[in-house]
Structures are given as C-alpha cells and as structure tokens.
Structure 1
Amino acid sequence: MVLNPVLMDAMGQLAACWVAEQVGTDFNCFPSTIERIELLAPQPAAEAGLVLRGRQQALDPAQAADIAAARRWQFEARGADGRPLVRVDGLVNVFFHVPHRFYQVRRDPLGGWLGAPLAPLGGARLWQLESLPEAFCAQSNAIFLRMLAHATLAWEEREAWRALPDNLRQRRQWLHGRLALKELVRHWLHESTGQLVYPSDVVIGHDERGAPYVDGWWTQSLAPAPAVSLTHGARWNVAALRDDGAPVGVDAEEIGRVQRPELLAAAFTPAERAWLAAQPAAARDDALLRVWCAKEAAAKFLGSGLQGAPEAFAVAFESGGADRASVKAGDIMVPVLLGRVGDSVIALAEYQEKVSG
C-alpha cells in the first residue's frame, strides 16, 4: 500500500490549524521527524466523509504552555464508515514566529509588501524596506530567506542567487536590496497603470559599472522601464525611481554609523572640511553624512560610482542651509537634495547641467 500524499499533508495542515487558533497567522511550523506510520487499509484516492483526528503534547512537559515548544502529534484517519485507514505516531513539529509582513509576502506574493513608500524628494519616488532581522533569516539553515527568494525572484535572478557565496549577511543584503527595487517599481506600475505585477515580473540587472536597472515583460506593454537607484545599510534599504527618462541617484546613511569621522573627512576637499568645521558641534555628525551622501548620490546619478576618488566629487551647499547642494564632477554639476528620514540622512541627485567656462 502507498500512503495518499494528500492525506499525509492534511495532518500537517491540522497541526498548523491548531497553532493558528492559539497565536494567529504569523508563524511557520514544519514536521521534523515521524516515528511510525501504520497503513491499516487500502488508501483512498477519492472518498468523501473521511475524518482526521489529532492529539498533541509538548515534548518537554515543562514547556506545555509555550506555543513555540516542539510538539509530538498522533493522528488517525477513518473512513466514512468508521474503519481506520492510517495512524501516524510521533510526528514532531518545530515552530517559528515570523514577522507579519513576511507572512503576507509568503502567503500572497502579488498582494504582500515588505516595505512602504517614503515621502517624495524632488521629482523621484522613494521606497524604504527594513531588512528582516538577521537572526530570523538564519533560522533552520536560512529556510525563510530561501522561501523569500523563491517567492519573489525571476528565473534568471535565481541563477545569480544560487551563485552567491554561502554568507548569510551577504545573501540577506543582496535579496533585500533587490526586493526594495522590485517593490518600488511594482508600486509605481500599479499607481500608473492600475495593474499589479508579481515581484518575479520585475527583473533587476546591473550594467558594466554595477548600476542597477529594471526590465520585464511589462516594459513592452505597460510602461517603459524607469531609472532606478538603490542604497542600503545594515537594517534598511532605500530605492529611488524616476519615470521621465532622467537619471537618479540616492544614498542614505544612519547617524552614528561612522565610528571614526576623521577618517571619512580625510576624503573631503579643503572647502568641504572648512564647511564642516563651521557647523555647530551638535550637528557635526549630520553635516558629515550630508557631504558624504551627496557625493555618493551624485556618483550613482552619473553611473560611475566614486571609483575610489571621493575628493573628485566636490560638494557645495547653498547658502543658508544644508538641504540643497551642488556636486561638481569634472565638467558636470549635479544638484542634490538632502533631508532626514528618522535617524538617517538621505541624499537624492537629479538632473545635470554643464559647467560653463
């Protein structure tokens, strides 16, 4: 006799239903071991009126009140006439709490979102995605990170995912940054066209200089591919988008991240260091990051990156404040808008003008 796989799956579903009644939906539970399976009759392929009963207890009686404790289940399935069909003993489930936004994306990749829009800065749309906690992503051999990748990546992106080094922190950052770009493009497409596409419909690529771009079937029927830019920190990711054909560059840094500000300031021009020295001591960290973020944003806008020469991107702030700057790189002047999002400085580079003379 062969066990009906649907009947076997129903046992796991019954265990999950019991857990959901206790804690709601924000969890995953997986069967880890099964001690014994008894097949007591030919297994039905299609039979109405089957009844499945289950009984559970905590493996450690001292943890009986802890919903997250491993539990041992016994199941019995009976036919409509009451005859026993199969018994399973010693099925042990392991339990994991999951963030609600992860649950939503896992359950419904089309309708779930990990991030949310930020207030626009200049002519660009902005999207912030807080990375799922590293400890959560590491659980059970990074199962949740792998689930997220397979729910959201296009086929061609999965090849790049599989080729990444076996480093949790690197894989987590790679995936969350990519998802920030995907969600921003999906949100923009939905607002612009009324059509919601899947995360896997938005394919993220990188040009020869490493700058991100987006592609997908929708570029042929819904809207041309917009310009995008991405920045990420240890805990969050910010993506920017322009849909008018103009390039865009975004950078953000968390206040307090720089442990040795004098080392960062060493990469500044004399004029930038003089401006920094003139700022009030209480605002020095903020001012330092405004200069650095302006350089990074302008370099991304130009598609070149800093190329190891941040001093080649000279930042000058408009008089009377630090919310607008111009970054001169060669004969190009890049306007940059700057602001604060929570404890982070954010810089957005847009447009470009030739420097006269």
Structure 2
Amino acid sequence: APPAPAAVPAPAAGPGPAVAPVPVPVTGTWTPGGSPPATGTGIRTSVVRVSPETMPYLLDHCFFPQRAGWPDVADRWPVVPATTIVQHLMDTARRAAPGRVPVAVHGARFEEWLTATPAVDVQVTAEPVAPDRLALSFGPRARATVELAAGYPAPPPDRWRTDPAGERAPSHTAAQLYGERWMFHGPAFQGVTELSALGERHIRGIITAPAAPGALLDNVGQLLGYWIMATRTERTVVFPVGMREMRFHGPHPAPGTRVACLVRITSLTDTVLEADVQLSVAGVVWAELRGWQDRRFDNDPHTRPVERFPERNTLSEARPGGWSLVHERWPDLASRELIMRNSLGGAERSEYAKHAPRGRRQWLLGRIAVKDAVRQWLWDHGEGPVFPAELRVHNDDVGRPYVTGVHGRELPPLDVSLAHRAEAGVAIVRPHTPAPGPGIDIEEVTDRDPQAVASVLGADELRLLHGLCAATGDSEALWFTRFWAAKEAVAKAEGTGFGGRPRDFVVLEATLAGDELTVSGRLERAYAVRCAPAANPPGLTDRAYAVAWTTGPLGPTGIPHEEE
C-alpha cells in the first residue's frame, strides 16, 4: 500500500472567528485524536448573538432591496448565509480541539432561514462522536460533523479539467452580476470578479476572497446560482440546503486572494440542484466541495424583474380600462414567503401572520394587486422608483381599503378598490373624489344552483339574464358571473359591500358583448360598469373569470363623472 500522505502543518494562527462566542460551562473533557467519551459527556456549548450589530456584514446579505436610507432593516431581511454558519461550526471545532485544524465538514444540513432581525441568541453545541470528529449544531437550524487533524493533508489533489469546446462566454460580466442585481449581495459578499466560462453542466469563474466570514464559499453559491439563471428560465431561485462533504487542503485564503472556482453540475431536478466544486489558489487545489445541494424555488420569467428591481416593476399586469391583474405564480409555501417579504412592510407582515393559512394566499394577492396599481398610477404621473414596502394598505371601519405612504413617502389623495378569487387578484385606483367609486370585483365563471341565482337577482334581472343568454348564446354561468361581479363592484364603490342584501344593487341593462352594464346602487341611481374576461395562465388551475369595475356613478349627461 502507498504510504500515507504527509500532513501540512497547521498555521500558527488561523482566520479569526466569525463572531466572538459567549462561553457556556463545558460538560466533561475530550482529548482530540483519542476515543470519544460516552454520549452526553465532552459536550461544549457556546452562544452566538446574531444581529446586525454583532454581524454588520449581514447588512450586505439582505434578500430584498429597499430605498436608500430605509430605516427598517427587517424589511431588507438580513439572512445568515449557510456558508457563514459553516464557518461558525468550524471555528467552534477549532476552539474545542486546540492544536488541531478543521480539514473537512461532513453532512452539513440547513433546516430553515436564520435572520438577524429580530436579534437572536443561537446555542452552538459540539459533541465528540469519533476520533477527531465533532458533531456540531447551530441551534435547531443547522448541523454538521467537522473532521480535525494535526495539519492539512498533502499533496493536494489534481485540478479538474474542462473541455474548451464545450464552453461559451457568459452573457454577463462579473460587474453586471451585481450592478444589474442578478445577485442580491452587497459589497461584503461581492467576491465574483470574473465569469470565465459557461458549459452545459459547469461554470468557471474567479472569486476574489472577501473578508466577511463564510463569504468566499457564499460566492461559490453565487456562481452556481448564475449557472441556473443563465441556462434555465423557470425555478431559477436557489438556496443551499446541504453539503455532503467539504474538504480543505490548506488554510483559508487571505482577503484579496484570487481563487479559481470550477462548479460541475451533478444532478438537476425540478426541486434540487446538486454540484461538486473545486477551488484553487495559484494553480494549487485549496478545497473540494462534493454534494453541494441547492433547493429550487418557484419563479418564472414574469416574477424575475420584480425580484431584481422591485422599485421599477410589478407582479401585476396593467389591463385596458385602468386596472391591474395579478396571478399567483408562486404556489409552494417557501416561494410564497419570498414573494410576501418582497411585497409587504413590517406592519403588513404582522397582519399577514394573523390570518389563517388558507386565507393568507388571497389576502396577499389583494395587497400585491393594489400596491402595484398605486405604483403604476404614480409612475404614469411622473413618479420615480417606488418600492412595495413604501406603501401600506389599510382598511377603514367598514372594511374599505385605502393606501398610505411609509417612512416619508407622500401620496396624493387616492381611492382604491381590490378583489381576489382563487389564484387571481385585481385592483383599481383613481384620484379621490367625494362621489362613490371606484369599485372592482373578480368572480370565477362557474355553474350556480337556481336557488343561489334567485337569491342574488330580482325578477327583472332574471328576465334580462335569460334574454341575454338567448340573444348571445353565452351560458347562464357566464352572464350570471358578469351580473354578480358588476353588482359587487358597485357595492364596493359605495363603500358598503352587499351587507347580505345583493338585491339592493340591480343590473338595469347590458350590452350584448357583456362588456358594459348599468347597475343601480343604494346611493346612486346608475353606475356605468365595465366587464372583461380573465383566465389563469398555463401552469395554474384552469379557471375563467369575469372582472367588473366602475369608476363611479353616471353624471347628468349619462356618462361616468370621471369621464365628464
């Protein structure tokens, strides 16, 4: 058998710890290299304070951009990178075994986000489980086993090779990666300084080692993230959930060191992206990471502009007639969490959390739709960038929505209305007037039983409904849905809703095309209501909707006050 490789002596002083821990009394003792003590002995614990004050570099690892000088850090959502957690675990292992260095990390798993707002104390636990191995946990959120040795193994492995014929130049530069917000990272985590080559199953680049703890390996994840964005159009948001093995062949490169990175894709499914990684300094392999595993989150080309530049883009689509329509293109819970945090400010997130899980989805759709409608109105009238968190949607005593500015954002007097049904949300905004309006509603086109129809429509409306069905050939389900949505839109314009009495609102007439209806209300004798079809996009449950909206009552000349 070949002789065992010689060991590279450990440096006299390794890189500093990610943050100074608060020591907790140690239970038992352990001699590195010897047999591990019985379970429950030799356990070391310490506490790490996670906050923007103790870890200021996390202000450059915030998922969501906000207006410059934004005072609420929680709206930016500073999250501890998985690789920073790994650095904490390695630092803990180093302190637990003086004279030894961490040479590998095995079975790292990351169970949930760890955010820095509000501040949290995390207990880090280290327990010997084998000679030169410590099982570590970072609170309930992460765990791994760290392997220790007297020095780094030598010689390092050979560098991996790639076939230049299977590579192409990336479409972006490293500067564009950050300047165009393909990555959310701030300066402390902006380590990719060259995008060298892109292949069908690999990517190469140069990382200039940042100083922030864990930032060098975080940039590996950025290269992997760029690969999937450059080669796929859907489910391109990825975050680490595990790493099978991370093996190191020397001390951590000093800040400013150029590190060559080669990422090889080993598996890609709808939910998981896996890769192996090799990192080299001056032509010598420093580290190999095997089984890097990212989870893929739901997103599609419609949501990507909002993820990058929420202050200039909307999830909603502006529709003819001056209203907005949004579809829920984020069906899974984790993706919805990201959309929610990009759309709501702190007070609204608290409201969201108070809703029952089944009600949160449509509540969120309504908030997104009305914020998008207001922002689109502001842009149409010359306003510059407006982030979603700069607006807050309230409800008055009777449930009518209204919108205010947050942290210095001033709004003109505006009236808004919103509605949601299944996977769709709609909203409309107009300048404030003392008259009723605007109002909007969306309803799914579906068959109703005769009792339900009769409870909503009076005798004259039923005759009108049946006559329109006969004249147009359209189904009763479609015409009833138009009537229902039109009546609901007027009820919202008057600020009351049906109040259990839908017959108080009467459809007086409708065009054969079904795009214009006249409806009487409680406060005004006639409103002009417009109606348009809508449908879920591919990938969502097949549904057809009727959307009805009014901008207010008819004026003396028989046209809406707004148009007069």
Shift in Å, 1:326: 3.1
Pair 241,79 (structure 1): closer, same or farther in 2 beyond 3 Å: same
**Residue among 424, 427, 436 paired with 1:236:** 424
Shift in Å, 1:23: 2.0
Contact conserved, 2:233 with 2:301, CA < 8 A, in 1? no
Paired AA for residue 360 in structure 2: R
C-alpha separation in 1, matches of 2:221 and 2:512:
64
Cα deviation code 1:63-122 (max 9, x no counterpart): xxx564745433232333x444333232223334521112221222123322221112xx
Map of 1:75 onto structure 2: 277
SS of match in other structure, 1:34: strand
SS of match in other structure, 2:217: helix
Paired AA for residue 497 in structure 2: G
Question: Does the alignment pair 1:156 with 2:363?
Answer: no
Pair 328,103 (structure 1): closer, same or farther in 2 beyond 3 Å: closer
Pair 234,76 (structure 1): closer, same or farther in 2 beyond 3 Å: same
C-alpha separation in 2, matches of 1:275 and 1:333:
18
Map of 1:302 onto structure 2: 494
Map of 1:14 onto structure 2: 223
Pairing of 1:335-346 with structure 2 (within 5 A): 335-342=527-534, 344-346=545-547
SS of match in other structure, 2:303: helix
C-alpha separation in 2, matches of 1:220 and 1:96:
32
Paired AA for residue 33 in structure 1: G
Pair 302,42 (structure 1): closer, same or farther in 2 beyond 3 Å: same
C-alpha separation in 1, matches of 2:497 and 2:279:
63
C-alpha separation in 2, matches of 1:43 and 1:335:
71
Question: Does the alignment pair 1:147 with 2:338?
Answer: yes
SS of match in other structure, 2:521: strand
Query: Larger relative contact order (C-alpha < 8 A, sep ≥ 6)?
Result: 1
Greater CA drift, 273-282 or 236-245? 273-282
Question: Does the alignment pair 1:54 with 2:263?
Answer: yes
Question: Does the alignment pair 1:186 with 2:375?
Answer: yes
TM-score for both structures, normalised by structure 2: 0.54
**Residue among 377, 382, 388 paired with 1:199:** 388
Contact conserved, 2:418 with 2:439, CA < 8 A, in 1? yes
**Residue among 254, 276, 285 paired with 2:465:** 276
SS of match in other structure, 1:46: coil
Question: Does the alignment pair 1:258 with 2:447?
Answer: yes
Contact conserved, 1:229 with 1:248, CA < 8 A, in 2? yes
Contact conserved, 2:413 with 2:432, CA < 8 A, in 1? no
SS of match in other structure, 2:320: strand
Structure exhibiting the larger radius of gyration computed from Cα positions: 2
How many residue pairs are counted as aligned between the two chains? 332
TM-score for both structures, normalised by structure 1: 0.82
Shift in Å, 1:321: 8.4
C-alpha separation in 1, matches of 2:339 and 2:271:
24
Map of 2:10 onto structure 1: none
C-alpha separation in 1, matches of 2:271 and 2:418:
40
C-alpha separation in 1, matches of 2:269 and 2:455:
54
Pair 268,97 (structure 1): closer, same or farther in 2 beyond 3 Å: closer
C-alpha separation in 1, matches of 2:271 and 2:367:
34
Map of 1:63 onto structure 2: none
Cα deviation code 1:264-318 (max 9, x no counterpart): 2333222222322333342333332233223211210111111111122233227
Question: Does the alignment pair 1:327 with 2:524?
Answer: no
SS of match in other structure, 2:266: strand
Map of 1:130 onto structure 2: 327
After superposition, the CA RMSD in angstroms is: 2.9
Paired AA for residue 115 in structure 1: S
Pair 305,209 (structure 1): closer, same or farther in 2 beyond 3 Å: same
Choose between structure 1 and 2: higher helix proportion: 1
Map of 1:287 onto structure 2: 479
Contact conserved, 1:293 with 1:346, CA < 8 A, in 2? yes
Give aligned-pair identity as a percent.
24
Paired AA for residue 116 in structure 1: E
C-alpha separation in 2, matches of 1:276 and 1:147:
44
Paired AA for residue 239 in structure 1: A
Cα deviation code 1:188-234 (max 9, x no counterpart): 1011123221111121111112111111049964x413101112222
Shift in Å, 1:235: 3.0
Contact conserved, 1:294 with 1:336, CA < 8 A, in 2? no
C-alpha separation in 2, matches of 1:219 and 1:150:
20
**Residue among 287, 290, 293 paired with 1:86:** 287
- Please, which runs of 5 or more residues in structure 1 have no aligned partner? 59-65
Paired AA for residue 79 in structure 1: V
Map of 2:399 onto structure 1: 210
Contact conserved, 1:164 with 1:171, CA < 8 A, in 2? yes
Map of 1:113 onto structure 2: 314
**Residue among 246, 256, 277 paired with 1:37:** 246
Contact conserved, 2:297 with 2:334, CA < 8 A, in 1? no
Paired AA for residue 129 in structure 1: V
Cα deviation code 1:306-346 (max 9, x no counterpart): 111112223322798862313132x5324132332345433
SS of match in other structure, 2:498: coil
Pair 200,258 (structure 1): closer, same or farther in 2 beyond 3 Å: farther
**Residue among 218, 221, 225 paired with 2:413:** 225
Cα deviation code 1:153-180 (max 9, x no counterpart): 112111112222233xx22211111111
Contact conserved, 1:335 with 1:352, CA < 8 A, in 2? yes
Contact conserved, 2:491 with 2:521, CA < 8 A, in 1? no
SS of match in other structure, 1:336: strand
SS of match in other structure, 1:137: coil
